[in-house]
Chain A
Amino acid sequence: MAASTLTRKEQIARDLAHVPHKPGSTKPDPIIVADHVTRRFGGMTAVDVHHLEIQRGAITALIGPNGAGKTTLFNLLTGFDRPNSGEWSFEGTPLSRMSAAKVARSGMVRTFQLTKALSRMTVLENMRLGATGQPGENMLTSLFPPAWKGREDDITEQALELLARFKLDTKKDDFAGSLSGGQRKLLEMARALMTNPTTVMLDEPMAGVNPALTQSLLGHIEGLRDEGMTVLFVEHDMHMVRHISDWVVVMAEGRVVAEGPPTTIMQDQAVVDAYLGAHHDTDLGDDSLLDDDVIDQLEEEAEAEEHSRAEDGE
C-alpha cells in the first residue's frame, strides 16, 4: 500500500518535472483548462486569470494571501458565480456559464470553506443525498417505492463504506448538526464522494479543524489522489500545502503570479513579494528611505508595476 502511494506521487512528480515554473504553464495532461477568466465586483477586479491548467490526477494547491481571489476563482469554476468574461473546459467539455448542479453532475464536485453539513438530517441521510441516479428523486416515481428501493440499497451500501473509511460509521444515525467541526469537514468530503466525482475541489479543508484530525484529513486527501481523482484545494496553511500537494498555484490580487512544485515555490520571488510585499527586507526606520532619490526610484518601480499589470490585462 505504502509503496504504491509512493509510486503514484513519484509518477506525478515525474510528469510535472518538465513543466516550467511560471504562471500559466502548460501541463502534460490537463483536466481543467481556463482562459482569460475575469470577475469584477464593481470597480474591483477579483479574478483576472489569463491561462491556467490543472494536471489530471494530481493534488494542486491554490494558495495566496487574503483577497487574492482564490475562493472567487473556485466559485467561478464550479458554477456558483458567473464570470464577466472568459471560458474554461473540464475534460474537454466547455463549462463556462454552466449551472452549479450541472458542473457537479459532470464530475467536478466541491466543498465549502464554511462547512455545509445539513444539520437537521442524519449523517446517513446526508450521505444518501449525495448519490446520483436515484429515480426516487423524481416527484412521481418517489410515490412507488419498488421503483427506487433497489437503488436506495446500493446507495446505502456505498454510503456505509465511505462512512467507515472516514470513521463516521458510529455516527450514522446522529444529526449532522451534532458533529464537531472537523467531523463535519469529513462528512462533507465523504458526501461529495457519493457523487463518484473525477475531480474534487476543496475550499480550505483544514479551516477550523482541530490538530488531532488534521493528519487523518490529510491522509484522506492523499487517498483521493491515489484512487485517481484530481484534487484542487485552497489553503492558507503552508505546512499542509508542502506536505501533500504535487503542484502549487499562487494567486495574488486576482492573478496567477507563480506556479511550481511545493518544495521550491516558496523561494520564488513573486510568491515572496505577494505574501510579504516587494520591500519586506527594507528597514522602515532606515533614514535613507527619506532621500528623494530613493523615493523617486520606488515611485518608478510602482509605476512600472502598474504598467506591466495594465499590459497583462489586455
Chain B
Amino acid sequence: MDWTRILTNVAGELFAPATAAYALAAIGLNVHFGMTGLINMGQAGFMLMGAYGFAIATMNGWPVWAAVLAGLIAAAIFAIILGIPTLQLRGDYLAIVTIAAAEIARYTVRSSSLTWLTGGNAGISGNDFKGSFQNLCPLPEGSWALGPFQYSNCLSNSWWLRIVGWSLVAIAVVLVWRWMKSPWGRVLKGIREDEDAVRSLGKNVYSYKMQALVLGGLFGALGGMIYVLPSAVQADALGRTLTFNVWTILLLGGAATVFGPVLGSLIMWAVLMLIKSVLRDMPWDVITSTQAEAFSWVLVGVTLMVLVIFRPQGILGDPKEVAIDGR
C-alpha cells in the first residue's frame, strides 16, 4: 500500500474547491437550521440556483460580478417563493416544501425543452462559462506545485479557484460569527427555541425567518458557483444527494457552531478520500474500485447515524445544550 500517495490524496482534499463549496453550503444551512431552526431539505436547490444563474448569465456575456449577482438573486427569489407560504406554518412543512422545490428546480433545468437555456440533461460544459472567471486570474499562466500538489494556476481546478473559494469561506465564517454574537442572531436563536415566545415579545418572527432563509440560501448559491467551477454545470450533480451530504457535514461539525460546517466539510472529504484510497490499494482482490466508491458512501451513511445517536451536537457542539430537552 502506497501510504505517501494515499496521504497526499487525503491532504489534497483538505483544500480542494469542492471542500470549500460544501463548507459554504453548510454555512448557509447552519444559518437555516443551526441558528434559526428552519429545516431546509433543499439546500442543493439553492446551490443549483447559484450555479445556473452564474453560468447562464456568463454565457450571455455578463461580467463576473453581474453573473455572481444573477446567481445570488436567483437564490434569493427561490427563498422568497418558498418562504412566503411555508414560514407561517410549523417547521416540518418547510422541510417538505424545500425538498420538493429543489427537485422541481432540478427537473426543470434538465428538461429537454429548456436545452437552449440550460443545456438540458447534458448541462453546461465548463468551457462555456468559466472563461470570464479565469480571465480575472491575477496569477501567471501555467501551473505551480506546492510540494506534491500541482495544479494549474488559473484553469479549471486551479489555485485561483482555491484562493477565491477559501476566501469566500473565510468571509462567510467571519460574518456568521458576527451575526451569531449579535442581537440579530439572538432573535433567530429565540425563534429556534420557541417562536411564539419571541412573537409575544413583539418581534416580527416571519420577517426574521425570511431573512434567515434568504441569507442561508445566498451562502448556498455561492457554494453552488464554487462547486461547478472546477468542472461543469450538471443538474443531476445538484440533487438530493448533495443536500444530504451538506446535512452530514453540518451535523458532523456541529450545528449552531461557527466553525462546525468548515470542520465537517474538511473531515468528511478527507475521510472519504482515505477510505476510497485504502480500499483501492488493498493488496488482496476483495473489492473493485467501483465497489470501493459505493462502500465509502455506505460508511458515510453509517457515520451519520452513529453521529446523530451518540453525538448529536457534532464535534464542536456544546453537549450541555443537547442535554437540555429542547421543549
Binding site for B on A (CB under 8 A): 78, 80, 99-102, 104-105, 109-112, 116-121, 125, 128-130, 132, 134, 136-139, 141-143, 145, 148, 152, 175, 177-178, 188, 191-192, 194-195
Contact = CB atoms under 8 A, between A and B. Distances in A.
Given A80-B199, A137-B184, A138-B184, 6 more contacts: A112-B200, A119-B327, A137-B186, A137-B203, A148-B183, A195-B201
Nearest to A119: B324
Contacts of A178: 324
A269 B325 CA distance: 46
Given A78-B200, A120-B324, A120-B326, A143 B182 contact: yes
A137 B202 contact: no
B187 A143 contact: no
Given A119-B324, A129-B186, A175-B321, A104 B197 contact: no
Nearest to A201: B200
Contacts of B198: 118, 129
A142 B199 contact: no
Given A139-B215, A175-B324, A119 B199 contact: no
A141 B41 CA distance: 29
Contacts of A120: 189, 192-193, 321, 324, 326
A191 B198 CA distance: 10
B190 A177 contact: no
A143 B178 contact: yes
Contacts of B179: 139, 142-143
Interface string B211-254: 10001000000000000000000000000000000000000000
B306 interface: no
A177 B324 contact: yes
Classify chain B: how many residues form its interface, as a range. 20 to 34
A100 B183 contact: no
Contact of A195 (B202, B324, B327): B202
B320 interface: yes
Nearest to B192: A120
Contacts of B189: 118, 120-121, 125
B194 interface: yes
A101 B325 CA distance: 26
Nearest to B324: A177
Q: Name which of A100, A112, A134, A178 has the most chain B CB atoms within 10 A of its CB.
A: A100
B185 interface: yes
Contact of A116 (B175, B194, B202, B324): B194
Contacts of B183: 128, 134, 136-137, 142, 148, 152
A191 B201 contact: yes
A165 B32 CA distance: 36
Q: Name which of A112, A117, A118, A192 has the most chain B CB atoms within 10 A of its CB.
A: A118
Contacts of B190: 118, 121, 129
B193 A119 contact: yes
A110 B202 CA distance: 10
B204 interface: yes
B128 interface: no
A134 B187 CA distance: 11
B205 interface: yes
A152 B200 CA distance: 20
B196 interface: yes
Contacts of A145: 178, 182
A102 B202 CA distance: 6
A99 to B, nearest CB: 8
Contact of A148 (B182, B193, B211): B182
B316 to A, nearest CB: 15
A182 B198 CA distance: 20
A239 B178 CA distance: 50
Contacts of A80: 196, 199-200
Nearest to B195: A116
A177 B325 contact: yes
A132 B215 CA distance: 24
A152 B184 CA distance: 12
